Structure 1
């Protein structure tokens, strides 16, 4: 006998069964719509990180072509050393001017400017008949690198939704190491002039791609282009997306910031911006003084000094960078910025200690057969640890923490500090190694240990928050 309760239960069950497919269809439709909305963000990011890849080709160029260029153009060691290092000074000039350029002509305008310098630089290197043209070309590509190092992560951070911002901004570092690694590899089979021409490819893709992607909505809002701001945001989020809440939040925040006077360099040291400056500059100092540029530029000699086959070690080094940086990109929006950088800094300490042990054993001729094992293990742990966090995360955080009214000048300062520290680390590496090979890596380990303390005490977690929420929390 069927009771009334059984009938009601049956109807409820039938309704539930009918509701489940409907909910699944709604969820699927929502997911499909979300994917459609985000394709322009992905495409815009791809175009922007072509600049990061171009950055990597500039860094990776000088190593595989050294013997060929010195032989073809009869360069002395001093002349080639100048060619290799002068790029850093071009990058410093780019760092000084990148913020004002990006503020004045926009993020896309800054990327076009940077690409133009890189194209001119590569062509100067390709047609070079002597050291002067080589140096001019190297300075020009260095300038492009300095601008790219700031504007690419800033542009990506400003266009990405908060749930994708960390991963997409990390692609900046991934494409840099891809550019370095590919240059190392193809540089072994191409002539130095042909390798210079390959540097034009990412620049060409970037210049062409910029015609199809929107400008940063936040920059458009800052300069008062209201219609263009709304159109760019709608294009990034999809034509069917409701952007009213996000647009209102951005607009309200920028209107609040515009009540302040135009920012100058000294204004960064006011109380309301000082914490952001300390975080950004501190992370850049920790990133570079931990020794990465010394290790990167001289990894071949490090393996040789420790008694490990340098060609095998360099190939492993190049591949490991790419794989671990890609892993970091997948983890940053799940694990968070702060945990990732703490794990990275801890690994850098371990890698430095193991490498120091290797050189200590070799210096005092103790267990010589163990020295190469410690060396290669230490260097690979060091490189892998840097790639997963310390390489990319400081740039991600730098792109998130500054209000847009000071972002240009503050970003220039942080980028300039990064390049000065990069030059200092690479310049002092050989002097430190001649002083004490194991002492050098003990020093790097100590710097990375200080970085752990700095991150724990000073650096905030920015995962899952809008740029406006992050900046309001830090700067009050």
Structure 2
């Protein structure tokens, strides 16, 4: 997941050449990413950007670890602490409650103490949460720990993509920003795999590792130059930009553009909630909020949080299904990282929604056959195939693209307010789905997945009718399309 819902972020307009060639060229030649005749310096600057990105996405990895923690640990936690289904459902969903509350504060925190400061604070909250979970002897401390990790997730999923977008050269910004979603998948997958091998308490301790790496790494990467310019730290601003673009690079043009945008932002009147319903902005709001609603109510958090239970219900061992789930989502997400600047946003959304529909339909059919005692030998195959199709196609499109599009379709004036509302809707939906999933499965296993399939079908219609293609277009062109 990328959240660029922030007033201060100036996303450099796409120059229309963001194909695979553009993704490869900066790493091989570093010609367009920096303005320097010194190839050695340019190459070094690219590596500063890459290293800074890798440090920051440790927060995304932590996000994934939190999301993936509950699925492989449910039986162990419920048995050791004697929790009811309702108690564990509350525990599983509290990560989204913490993230929802963070959505109200993440913008102010990230503006006040900086992008690095926000990530540092989130890492501290997350580390504290994991320690509380590790030491828990009952439901209450377990819930407190889960809430703390959830609050850190809400900060991470806002601050990390914002930081990456603000430090990256324009021609590789899309690919680097989508590394956020890739690391979320890797963190989730690793938690799934380790959870089948070690105890739930030891799995909580592994959550400390990315926190420590991030806290240490933050000492060695520059702060966002755009944030430094915004708060008036001119000397630090130029030092940071030189580190990111190369010691001998000419940063005059980029620095002037950043300063001009900061000044323009200061002149804008403060956005109000009522602005979101004005004719000029309403379609942007509908697109951003709609994509978040469909992303969540398609069932992703229920399926990922309780994947092992789904496989057990279908007659498969929880570990084998969970391991397969964990392994498949990472390479598919990597494909999405490459394709997002090549094939475009809209095609990925359409393919993704189609795949999640078929995945849910197959899984629902498997449970329906099981309930009717028909073709029982096919039930595990259909259930696992359906879940894996769902995960693969969700990862390639619906997982990352809504965040990318949210950063592109809001005009600067309401980017912070509109983006924050979208984030809030996302986490409220995530909480509702993760909390009710077990109860829905108790009501009807096939019915649950057929409902999710219906949401995916509506997603297809929504994207086909309302969502424009934003690849290769400037922000002004996107606004013209939206308001046409």
TM-score, L = length of structure 1: 0.85
Determine the structure 1 residue equivalent to 2:395.
Answer: 387
Structure 1 residue runs without a partner (length 5+): 1-24
Please tell me whether the aligned partners of residues 111 and 227 of structure 2 are also in contact (alpha carbons under 8 angstroms): yes
Rate the CA distance shift 1:224–1:458 in 2: closer, same or farther, 3 A.
farther
Higher mean alpha-carbon deviation, 137-146 vs 67-76, is at 67-76
Kept after mapping to 2: 8 A contact 1:348/1:385: yes
Larger Cα Rg: Structure 1 or Structure 2?
1
Match of 2:364 among 349, 356, 374: 356
1:215 alignment partner, one of 213, 223, 229: 223
Q: In 2, distance between residues paired with 1:467 and 1:219?
A: 21
- 1:254 is displaced (CA, Å) by 3.4
How far 1:436 moved relative to its partner?
Answer: 3.9
- 2:281 and 2:247 map into 1 onto residues whose CA distance is 36
TM-align CA RMSD: 2.9
CA contact (8 A) 1:95 1:147 kept: yes
1:56 is displaced (CA, Å) by 1.4
Identify if the C-alpha distance between structure 1 residues 101 and 470 changes in structure 2 by more than 3 Å, giving closer, same or farther.
Answer: farther
CA drift at 1:346: 1.6
Worse-matched range after superposition: 57-66 or 221-230: 221-230
Q: Could you say if the C-alpha distance between residues 84 and 350 of structure 1 is closer, same or farther in structure 2, counting changes exceeding 3 Å?
A: closer
Q: 1:99–1:411: 8 Å Cα contact kept in structure 2?
A: no
Matches within 5 A, 1:309-324: 309-324=317-332
Who is 1:152 aligned against?
Answer: 160
Rounded Cα–Cα distance in structure 2 between residues aligned with 1:309 and 1:222: 54
- The total of aligned residue pairs comes to 452
Q: Which moved more, 1:92-101 or 1:399-408?
A: 399-408
The aligned runs of 1:198-209 (5 Å cut-off) are 198-209=206-217
Residue 187, structure 1, aligned to residue 198, structure 2: no
Counterpart of 1:87 (choices 95, 113, 119) is 95
Q: Which of 298, 308, 311 in structure 2 is aligned with 1:303?
A: 311
Pair 1:111-2:106 in alignment = no
| 1:336 aligned residue | 344
- For 1:155 and 1:333, the matched residues in 2 are separated by 19
Cα shift readout 1:170-228 (whole Å, capped 9, x = no counterpart): 11111112112212222333343332222111111112222222222333333344443
State the Cα distance separating 1:52 from its structure 2 match. 0.7
- Shift in Å, 1:87: 2.3
Q: Structure 2 residue aligned with 1:98, among 85, 99, 106?
A: 106
349, 374, 380: which one pairs with 1:372? 380
The verdict on how the C-alpha distance between 1:49 and 1:79 changes in structure 2, with shifts beyond 3 A counting, is same
Inter-partner Cα distance in structure 2 for 1:131 and 1:458: 44
Contact 2:71/2:308 (<8 A) preserved: no
Secondary structure at the aligned position of 1:333 is classed as: coil
CA contact 1:170–1:329 (8 Å) conserved in 2: yes
- In the aligned structure 2, how far is the partner of 1:26 from the partner of 1:112? 30
Structure 2 vs 1, CA of residues 350 and 202 (structure 1 numbering), >3 Å: closer, same or farther? same
Q: Which residue of 2 aligns with 1:447?
A: 455
Shift of 1:33: 5.5
Conserved 8 A contact 1:102-1:109: yes
Gaps in structure 2 of 5+ consecutive residues: 1-28
Determine the C-alpha separation between the residues in 2 that align with 1:90 and 1:181: 22
Equivalent-residue separation in structure 1 for 2:39 and 2:346 (angstroms)? 29
Task: Assess if the C-alpha contact under 8 Å between 2:356 and 2:453 holds in 1.
Answer: yes
Q: What is the alpha-carbon distance in structure 2 between the residues aligned to residue 401 and residue 43 of structure 1?
A: 29
Q: Does 2:413 match 1:429?
A: no
With over 3 angstroms needed to count, the CA separation of the structure-2 counterparts of 1:55 and 1:368, relative to structure 1, is: same
How far apart are the structure 2 equivalents of 1:468 and 1:148? 29
